A = this chain, B = another copy of it.
Amino acid sequence: MKDRMFHLKEFIDKNGRVTLKELEGAFPGVSSMTLRRDLQRLEEDNAIFRVPGGAVSVGAIVRSNDGAVSERINYNAEEKLEIADKAVKLVEPMSCIFIDGGSTTTYFARALPDDNFYVLTNAVIIAETVLRKHKPTVSLLGGDLNKSNFITVGRSCLDFIDGINIQTAVMTATGYIKDTGSFTCGGQAEAEVKRKVIKKADNVIMLLDSSKVNKKTPYTFASILDVDCMVVDKNFSKELKTTLEQNGVKVY
């Protein structure tokens, strides 16, 4: 029984969220009632949470909600989903894409279809999200781990980027300054990584939801001249869109 419970928790942790039917399929020969009882016990141990129709892994929840992102990940959820859905149509299967760390890009990672991509990222949460799918290959950039957002940065991370090829870079920013057309973020080391990735990439896609416009954070890592196309939400102002397009940026 201990054995089954172990595999059960493992299975839930790996999938993040499962239905009872999936469990029945994954554990043939075990009655659904027993699975229920197991879930009950795991819930008592705070290992999982039961939800209508199945269960979710506590680990997955905690991770997807970690550090400073706690309130931010669900802010503008609808807009971010819209952006992610549009953006996944711009990447082609079998291509090698870098996914930047951030809440909007996490939605992108979730929306990514289960195809043979080569995914590179410096965000632990995104690596996990993509790895849950079956086909993509995932590489995680090494380096110093940032406490607040679980992103790797630093010297070794930059060296790592030297050794890889990037076809498409899917980036995001914490702020966009209209006057100068610059994208900004909160950390020095973070900005360095972003800069290097953009330099290396053949094609740069910037995901930006409307709440970021004219929000100022310390470090500028790119300007509109560096990006090839941008994906925005429906609340994005028309005039800003035309400004961008005049500078050769495709806006979706």
Contact = CB atoms under 8 A, between A and B. Distances in A.
User: What copy number does this chain have within its complex?
Assistant: 2
A6 B74 contact: yes
Given A51-B52, A59-B65, A62-B61, A41 B72 contact: yes
Contact of A77 (B44, B75, B131, B140): B44
A166 interface: no
B142 A63 contact: no
A96 interface: no
Contacts of A71: 45
A143 B140 contact: yes
A62 B65 contact: yes
A73 interface: yes
A144 B139 contact: yes
A240 interface: no
A159 B159 CA distance: 10
A65 B60 CA distance: 11
A45 B59 CA distance: 17
